[in-house]
Structure 1
Amino acid sequence: MDKRRILLGFVLILSACAGPGQFNPNQSWAESTLNKLTLREKIAQMMVYSMNMQYMNYESDQWQEIQQHLSTDGIGVLHIWFGDAGSSLTMLNKIQAESKVPILVDADIESGLGRRYPGAVTLPPMMAIAATGESHFAYEAGRIAAEESRAVGIHFNLSPVVDVNNNPKNPIINTRSFGENPDSVDRYSVEYIRGLHDYGMLSTAKHFPGHGDTETDSHSALAQIPSDSSRLWTIELPPFKSAIDAGVDAVMVAHVNAPDFQDHAQDPATLSKFWMQDILRDQLGFKGVIITDAMRMGGIIKNYSDEYALVTTIQAGSNIIIQNMNLKKSIDTIERAVIDGVILKKQINESALKVLKMKERLGLHRDRLIKTDYTYQQIGKAENFRMAEEIALRAITLVKNEGSVLPLSPAIDDTLYVVDLYDEPNNHSESSL
């Protein structure tokens, strides 16, 4: 018999035998894994569990809670607030090893891992990077963030901030943005994303549809963008389009609205089909993952119940939800909504598959553990500290020079006083400037 016929027959037999829990050679790892998961496990892939990656005793309440999640529905995405390299090498590796499905680990690494992990590099904020006038520094910032984060098991950066900081009264974005000019934000964001990607880290453009022209911190209350259509399409939205064109992996929707522009004027973007489907998906062409900002923030909890917000954000199009600190309750709520027909199973399957594909793209299905040697090689490299210092030096900007007092030319015996201002009383023994 012709060898090709034998091979074809063998493939057909394999395909016919491949049931829901078996490997199908025509499926990707993500697709095959999805078929093995229960409804609750699929929902868990969409949920973010938050913790500090710092030492905890096995008898502690949180460790017992983690073990309970791992042994039941699983943890799909893990958010790290703060941590240390030693705990990542031990505790995070243990969590990953015990997880049925590799866990996607995220963190806010806007200004380098040093903001979260001692010993790592702290980078100047994004506005300072743009103040250098050289976009390659944004690439270097992305590279350093990715190198160090991957070395402690963090795969997914909830950054860059692509908001246009065009409102001086903004209480939350300011120096986190690349600036007040959309073109500048475009340019530096794209380079930062490229730096992350080239060194193996997923990226997020936030805070959609723009948190720059607001006067409210959405951590405290719902923030409004006082913008009409033309302003949104020329200022707030172009940086998101540029990030999408650059291949950004996720877009974070924020607890903001634009009542002069959107349907259902009072809905935050996190609960809005208009923003997620009509604008982000249909008009901007984004095909990646939509992740919510934290659902425990004031912009949500002051106006909506946890249950309503969870169900509505999924109906609106969210794929990953930074849920309100009770993973089991969140899964219960969504499972009940699916059973009742309020949320379609198709939506859960599509979202869980997107998350699994992120994990597959990172290679976590082949190797999910952190390597000790790699951690010690990458964290706190002298060349990366030098790069951070160079960015900081190049970012120094002279804003005013009334009376031409600068540059200073003190006599050798003059005393120079530096005034260091803080929001609260402090006992700092030296300046942090």
Structure 2
Amino acid sequence: MDVQQILHAMTLEEKIGQKIMLDFRLWQQQDMIEPNGVIANLLRVNHIGGVILFANNLKNKAQIKTLTSWYASLETLSGVRLFIGTDNEGGNVFRLPRDEYAPFSGNMALAAAVTGGGDSQLAYAQGVHMGHDLRTLNINTNFAQVVDVNSNPLNPVINVRSFSDDVATVTTLAEKVSAGMQQQGVMTAYKHFPGHGDTSTDSHTSLPRVDRSSHDAFAIDIAPFAQAIEHGSAPDMIMTAHIQYPALDNSHITTCNGESIIVPATMSREIQSNLLRQQLHYQGVTITDALDMGAIADHFTQQDALDAVFKAGVDIALMPVSITTPEQGAALSALINRIVEKVKQGDYSEAEINASVARILTLKQRYHLLGNASAPAIAPPNDNTEALIADRSITAVVNHRATLPLLEKNLRYFILTPWMEQADGIKIMMQQYGYAHVDVAKESQLTDKEIRQRIAHCDVFLLGTLSTRFTPVEKDGITTAENAQQNDTARYLGWLRYAGGLAKTRVHLSLRAPYDIALYANDVEAAVASYAYYGCDNGVWRGKSIMALAKVLTGNASPQGKLPVMVWKDYDAETNTGTVAFPRGFGLSW
């Protein structure tokens, strides 16, 4: 089918519909997991361009295939089918059922494996495997990779979703994972433009601000996007960031409360059109991050948000309205009609709308979503890739007096973790290796007194933490979320120091972002980073990293991973300076 012929025949309503992507997580207060005639009609009547799926929609292999086959069969415009997307980044953002599909260990774990000497083709193999799983389920769009350079150790939302705080590492691995997905016929999306790595608040709940200079913005945050475009490996889509970035655009916009604020990058024409399109020469499709996130929804009405992102030049609005009942469908039609009227009144350039829809249709054509063209054949992936990456990623950071590996099988071990599946996973592996006395607990299920009693009864105390960021225990002037993590740090130090007073061997297991290793390094004999925290839940393994961690702890594997980020002893977010406790590239082995 010819894109220009389709475009020429489209009404304004049809064009605006193609520029919208919706979620149907819930329907009538239940998870939306099966074909639904009301939803099908709503999509067709409004000519919607795509849908995004979440864990609510994706329960098991058979159910998913039924749901996505139905979505794939829908034509919301003659001969034009849907983008069917999800967020399968790997690691802690993974929407498919973890017991049926390989979730992998996440971007930072992959970077740790490659930084430690693993072949960078592991990244391509991971992309092939993940793309294969999605394609077999008719999911044609993956909102990955995260190319945010996590240069701020205080970042609460990106952290292990990033490959590294090093631009070259982020750029190389993102390009390889994306190429693997594209080889399987899955569209990829780099996020979050112009870069979410230097934020210290979460855009899901508030509007972060980045105060880098323009020079640093191009050298760090924008670099992975720019280099991919320059290398000829530009992603199919680029997703916007709900952040303020004054060095790139310090103009103001009025909120629904009448407040004048610096325009979010998602709504900035300077950033989305002038910078991305004209300066960087990006030719692909742009899409907003979810418009129901607090960074946008707390400041703008649905109508004003949709109006602003389209005026900024963004191609697709993701989740501009929530629809969970038949009655709410009217709100969608009203949003579309309002935009149509604005175009007719001259508030928008119809030529820009046409160019935007042409990009969307061209991408759909490339991935066989126009007409009756068939998708390319799928090659089977290497099923060992997930385990290989997990095994190579485990990073030993502290090991005083050769504490690790833990070779004494008759000692009493006490493993305390935030989730039961983490301690259970390590215990299962240790028991398989012949360790006779392994006591485990979930920290929230025990009182402080009970935890101290368990510590007193053991020989080796292994403490797992789930930190997202560097949060010193003595830090003042902190947010509520930071306060919770600070309280955790104080509590953990109390247990570790109590164990030290009893001459127990202490091992810190950093199960998410490795930044917290510096907080406990002086109070443990050993510390190991896994970057991923899903273990064994009721006999079902939900990831490979806890398994790999147990192999290293027991001496059944040597740690090969190296830190892909700087681990700071102290850090000043205002000046982006501090003292490095463990440099990028550091890692012990034996």
State the AA in 2 paired with 1:81.
F
Relative to the length of structure 2, the TM-score reads: 0.62
- Mapped partners of 2:411, 2:176: distance in 1: 44
CA contact 1:113–1:149 (8 Å) conserved in 2: no
For the residue of structure 2 that corresponds to 1:105, the secondary structure is strand
Q: Which amino acid aligns with 1:105?
A: I
Relative to structure 1, the CA distance from residue 392 to residue 324 in structure 2 (aligned partners, 3 Å threshold; closer, same or farther) is: same
State the partner residue of 1:126.
Answer: 107
Change (3 A) 1:419 1:67: same
The aligned counterpart of 2:139 is 154
Give the Å deviation of 1:224: 0.8
Q: CA deviation at 1:206?
A: 0.5
- Within the alignment, does 1:345 sit opposite 2:328 as a pair? no
* Matched residue, 2:514: none
Contact 1:96 1:368 (8 Å CA) reproduced: no
The question of 1:419 aligning with 2:395 is answered no
Task: Assess if the C-alpha contact under 8 Å between 2:34 and 2:63 holds in 1.
Answer: no
State which of 178, 198, 202 in structure 2 corresponds to 1:217: 202
Task: Determine if the alignment matches structure 1 residue 276 to structure 2 residue 287.
Answer: no
TM-superposed CA distance for 1:307, in Å, is 1.3
Greater share of residues in strand: 2
Aligned: 1:251 with 2:238 = yes
Deviations 1:313-364 (A, max 9, x none): 1111100110222532331231122122212222221221111111110112
Could you list the per-position Cα deviations for residues 188-222 of structure 1 after superposition, in whole angstroms to 9, with x for gaps in the alignment?
Answer: 11111211122211111100111111011111111
Instruction: Identify if the C-alpha distance between structure 1 residues 34 and 132 changes in structure 2 by more than 3 Å, giving closer, same or farther.
Output: same
Distance 1:115 1:289, change over 3 A: same
Q: How far did residue 312 of structure 1 move?
A: 1.3
SS at match of 1:343: coil
The answer to whether the 8 Å contact 2:416/2:443 transfers is no
Alpha-carbon distance, 1:114 to partner: 9.7
Whether 2:77 is the aligned partner of 1:92: answer: no
Residue type of the alignment partner of 2:148: D
Asked if 1:204 corresponds to 2:204, the answer is: no
SS in 2 for 1:207: strand
In structure 2, the residue matched to 1:233 is 218
Pairing partner for 2:14 from 38, 41, 52: 41
- State the distance in 2 between where 1:32 and 1:113 align: 43
Structure 2 Cα separation of the partners of residues 330 and 394 of structure 1: 49
Q: Report 1:6-405 matches (<5 A).
A: 29-52=2-25, 56=33, 63-82=36-55, 83=58, 84-99=60-75, 100=78, 101-111=80-90, 115-118=94-97, 119-133=100-114, 134-244=119-229, 245=231, 246-264=233-251, 266-322=262-318, 323-326=320-323, 327-367=332-372, 383-384=382-383, 386-405=384-403
Residues 195-204 or 261-270, more deviating: 261-270
1:397 shift after superposition? 0.7
| CA deviations over 1:154-176 (Å, ceiling 9, x no partner) | 11111100001111111100000
Offset of residue 187 of structure 1: 1.2
Q: 1:245-295 deviations in whole A, cap 9, x for unaligned?
A: 312111111111222442316111100011112221122221111110011
Normalised TM-score (structure 1) = 0.83
Higher helix residue share: 1
Unpaired stretches in structure 2, ≥5 consecutive residues: 253-261, 324-331, 420-441, 447-536, 547-590
Query: Percent same amino acid at aligned positions?
Result: 29
Contact 1:220 1:297 in 2 (8 A): yes
Secondary structure of the residue that 2:52 maps to in structure 1? strand
Asked whether the 8 Å contact 1:139–1:192 carries over to 2, the reply is yes
> 2 CA distance for matches of 1:187 and 1:71?
40
C-alpha contact 2:33 2:64 (8 A) present in aligned 1: no
Structure-2 separation of matches of 1:78 and 1:300: 20
Count, aligned residues = 394
Give the counterpart letter for 2:368 in structure 1. Answer: G
Query: How much is the aligned-residue C-alpha RMSD, in angstroms?
Result: 2.8
Q: Distance in 1 between matches of 2:201 and 2:243?
A: 9
Change (3 A) 1:310 1:390: same
Distance 1:184 1:57, change over 3 A: closer
Mapped to 2, the partners of 1:264 and 1:73 lie a distance apart of: 33
Q: Matched residues in 2 for 1:213 and 1:131: separation?
A: 20
